[in-house]
């Protein structure tokens, strides 16, 4: 089997490649095309991994003919190009045209509804597409399926993600992930599923405090735009159980949170319209990204070592065997030496898990969200192999 990964030398794409050729691999692969606009980064990655199955392809996804050539002949195309770069639908369509299975990392729900509307086209063409894989979305959707499958009726499912950093405070702002994505999460309204329907809620609202184990403690969450609320409450086995509420909420370390709030107040993230500086049009987010990158490079020696801890959890309430019941599924990602070479081990490893399970599954044409496509137990087994802590608890109410 062969995989083409677009954006394969990026922070997450490189991590997916790394996991695909690691000792965790369960899918026999004959070749992996690392396609990226930076041939230098792709070549460096391939050399570092030293796997003969890796092939470097210099690719600008704006060149439709070259993109089609890179996709052709693959069994699966992984779209790891940042969602907000705006190429999601073009890559999605190119895979349909080439009759090549497709997956992406989704996020924010920017294209989720449009992609789901293509379900019948993919099914008629005999092509499988799984959208929104990775950690959040992706693994998070599977946690929702875990919860839903243990309830006979569902009142609500609430999904959360929190990060915490342990160690000396950094004098340099180091983004947790893509800057444009972070700004959108803080600046843009989100669509949540409330009282049985989708509604738009203002940015940074829906605050809720939950007591979590160390190192998180008392943790404040807020609504944030994501794809999970757009698919999970509509999925078979969830919608028909009567669900009335589904939400996704975010928590970032407090000082990091304050930085993004301040940048949004300054006007970043509220519009993608360029500004004119000295007679030249510039994208504010591109300028911010360049300044942050330069600051990190210049002051790298002042950035202290910090341990990153993540918790992802879904809480479902409803009934089981006629009695009120609450089910919770947690995945905790603690520091581990294996994760050190990844920019974001949770997202990268989950992207690799998704790719391999798609290739190993019988063909299932159509456009699917993770909670619709993946079997729970094999997915959780892959998480545990990578030393993610998975727990499921149930309690009567």
Cα–Cα dist 360/130, whole Å = 14
In angstroms, how far is the first alpha carbon of the chain from the final one? 48
Spatial distance between the Cα atoms of 169 and 190, rounded to a whole number of angstroms: 30
Q: Are residues 374 and 294 in the same domain?
A: no
How far, in Å, CA of 308 to CA of 215, rounded? Answer: 10
Which of the four pLDDT bands, split at 50, 70 and 90, describes residue 8? very high
pLDDT value at residue 272: 67
Does the structure show a pLDDT above 90 at 15? yes
- Domain carrying residue 207: 136-339+388-396
List Cα–Cα distances, 139 to 90, 253, 281, in angstroms: 25, 21, 39
84 and 114 co-located in one domain: yes
Q: Are residues 300 and 239 in the same domain?
A: yes
Rounded CA gap, 339 and 349, in Å?
A: 9
Kindly state whether residues 277 and 377 are assigned to the same domain: no
Within this chain, do residues 246 and 262 fall inside the same structural domain, yes or no? yes
Neighbours of 345 (CB within 10 A): 24
Of 206, 107, 145, the closest CA to residue 329 belongs to 145
Based on the domain organization, do 115 and 36 belong to the same domain? yes
Count structural domains, the chain: 2
Backbone angles phi, psi at 81, to 5 degrees: -75, 135
What is the average pLDDT score of the chain? 95
Residues 6+ apart with CB under 8 A from 58: 35, 36, 37, 39, 42
Pair 179, 74 in one domain: no
The pLDDT value recorded for residue 271 is 65
How sure is the predictor about 376, in pLDDT bands with cuts at 50, 70 and 90? very high
Output the domain CATH number for residue 100.
3.40.50.720
The mean pLDDT of 118-139, rounded to a whole number, is: 97
In whole angstroms, give the CA distance from residue 331 to residue 353.
15
CATH number at residue 250: 3.30.360.10
283, 271 in Cβ contact below 8 A? no
Q: How far apart are CA 48 and CA 297, in angstroms?
A: 22
Q: Where are the extended beta strands (E) located within 21-61? A: 31-36, 54-58
Same domain, residue pair 98 and 153: no
The mean per-residue pLDDT over the stretch 365-392 comes to 98
Residue 107, pLDDT above cutoff 80: no
**Is 80 exceeded by the pLDDT of residue 388?**
yes
Residue 294, C-beta contacts closer than 8 angstroms, at least 6 positions apart? none
Does residue 22 or residue 255 have the better pLDDT?
22
Q: Are 165 and 307 in contact (CB under 8 A)?
A: yes
* Domain shared by 194 and 253, yes or no: yes
Quote the percentage of the chain above a pLDDT of 70: 99
If asked whether residues 313 and 168 sit together in one domain, one would say: yes
State how far Cα 15 lies from the chain centre.
13
Higher-confidence residue of 184 and 384: namely 384
- Overall average pLDDT of the 25-44 stretch: 96
pLDDT of residue 83: 84
Same-domain status, 279 and 293: yes
DSSP 22: S
Could you tell me the pTM of the whole model?
0.94
Do residues 154 and 380 touch, judged by C-beta distance below 8 A?
no
114: CB partners within 8 A, 6+ apart: 89
Interval 146-190: pLDDT, tens: 999 999 999 999 999 999 999 999 999 998 778 888 898 999 999
- Indicate whether 302 and 186 sit together in one domain: yes
């Amino acid at each position: 089997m062969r995989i083409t990964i677009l954006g394969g030398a990026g922070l997450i794409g490189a991590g997916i490649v790394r996991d695909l050729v690691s000792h965790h691999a369960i899918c026999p692969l004959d070749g992996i095309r690392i396609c990226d606009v930076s041939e230098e980064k792709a070549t460096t990655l391939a050399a570092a991994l030293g796997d003969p199955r890796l092939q470097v392809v210099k690719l600008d996804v704006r060149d439709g003919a070259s993109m089609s050539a890179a996709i052709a002949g693959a069994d699966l195309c992984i779209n790891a190009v940042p969602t907000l770069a705006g190429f999601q639908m073009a890559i999605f369509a190119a895979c349909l045209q080439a009759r090549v299975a497709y997956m992406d990392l989704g996020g924010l729900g920017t294209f989720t509804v449009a992609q789901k509307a293509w379900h019948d086209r993919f099914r008629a063409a005999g092509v499988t597409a799984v959208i929104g894989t990775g950690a959040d979305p992706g693994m998070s959707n599977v946690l929702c399926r875990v919860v839903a499958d243990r309830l006979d009726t569902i009142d609500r499912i609430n999904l959360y993600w929190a990060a915490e950093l342990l160690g000396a405070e950094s004098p340099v702002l180091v983004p947790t992930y893509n800057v444009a994505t972070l700004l959108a999460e803080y600046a843009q309204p989100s669509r949540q599923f409330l009282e049985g329907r989708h509604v738009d809620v203002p940015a940074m609202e829906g605050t809720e405090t939950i007591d979590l184990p160390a190192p998180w403690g008392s943790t404040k969450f807020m609504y944030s735009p994501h794809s999970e609320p757009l698919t999970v409450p509509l999925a078979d086995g969830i919608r028909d159980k009567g669900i009335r509420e589904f939400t996704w909420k975010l928590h970032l370390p407090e000082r990091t949170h304050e930085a993004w709030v301040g940048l949004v107040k300054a006007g970043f993230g509220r519009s993608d319209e360029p500004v004119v500086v000295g007679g030249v049009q510039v994208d504010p987010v591109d300028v911010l990204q360049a300044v942050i990158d330069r600051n990190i490079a210049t002051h790298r020696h002042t950035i202290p070592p910090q341990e990153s801890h993540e918790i992802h959890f879904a809480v479902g309430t409803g009934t089981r065997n006629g009695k009120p019941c609450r089910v919770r599924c947690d995945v905790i990602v603690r520091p581990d030496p294996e994760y050190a070479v990844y920019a974001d081990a949770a997202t990268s490893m989950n992207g690799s898990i998704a790719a391999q399970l798609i290739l190993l599954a019988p063909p299932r044409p159509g456009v699917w969200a993770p909670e619709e496509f993946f079997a729970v137990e094999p997915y959780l087994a892959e998480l545990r192999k990578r030393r993610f802590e998975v727990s499921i608890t149930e309690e009567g109410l």
